[in-house]
C-alpha cells in the first residue's frame, strides 16, 4: 500500500465520470440522505452493529460529498497496485456495506424495543 494522488470525477470505480458534476453530486446526495434516514429510523430498534454499519456508510458518504463540490472531483490517495485508487471514506463505505451484508445473514433477529 502506498500513496498516489488521483482525482475521481465519478463515483466508485469512476462510474459516471462523464456525467455532469451536478448530477453526480445530486445523486450521491440523495443516496446519502437515504442512508441517513434509514439510520435514524432503524437506530432505536436495531442491533448496535447495524447502526455502526450504517453510520460508517453515512460518514464515508458525507466525507466524499464534502470533498466533491470544491472542484467537482473526489481526491483518492491510497493505492495498492492491483486495485483502483481510493480514500479513507471509501474504506468506511465498503466496510459498512460488508458489515450490513454479514448482519443480514444472521438468523437470530432481535425484537424491537418495547415502548
The set of catalytic residues is 76, 90
Rounded CA separation 65/28 (Å): 7
CB 66 within 8 A of CB 105: no
For residue 106, CA distances in Å to 51, 55, 100 come to 15, 19, 10
The helix/strand/coil state of 2 is strand
DSSP notation for 61-91? HHHHHHHHHHHSSEEEEEE-SSS--B-HHHH
Amino acid at each position: 500500500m502506498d500513496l498516489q494522488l488521483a482525482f475521481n470525477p465519478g463515483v466508485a470505480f469512476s462510474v459516471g465520470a462523464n456525467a455532469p458534476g451536478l448530477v453526480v453530486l445530486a445523486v450521491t446526495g440523495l443516496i446519502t440522505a437515504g442512508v441517513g434516514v434509514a439510520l435514524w429510523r432503524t437506530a432505536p430498534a436495531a442491533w448496535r452493529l447495524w447502526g455502526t454499519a450504517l453510520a460508517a456508510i453515512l460518514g464515508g458518504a458525507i466525507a466524499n460529498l464534502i470533498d466533491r463540490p470544491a472542484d467537482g472531483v473526489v481526491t483518492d490517495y491510497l493505492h495498492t497496485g492491483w486495485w483502483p485508487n481510493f480514500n479513507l471514506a471509501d474504506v468506511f463505505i465498503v466496510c459498512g456495506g460488508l458489515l450490513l451484508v454479514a448482519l443480514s445473514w444472521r438468523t437470530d433477529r432481535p425484537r424491537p424495543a418495547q415502548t
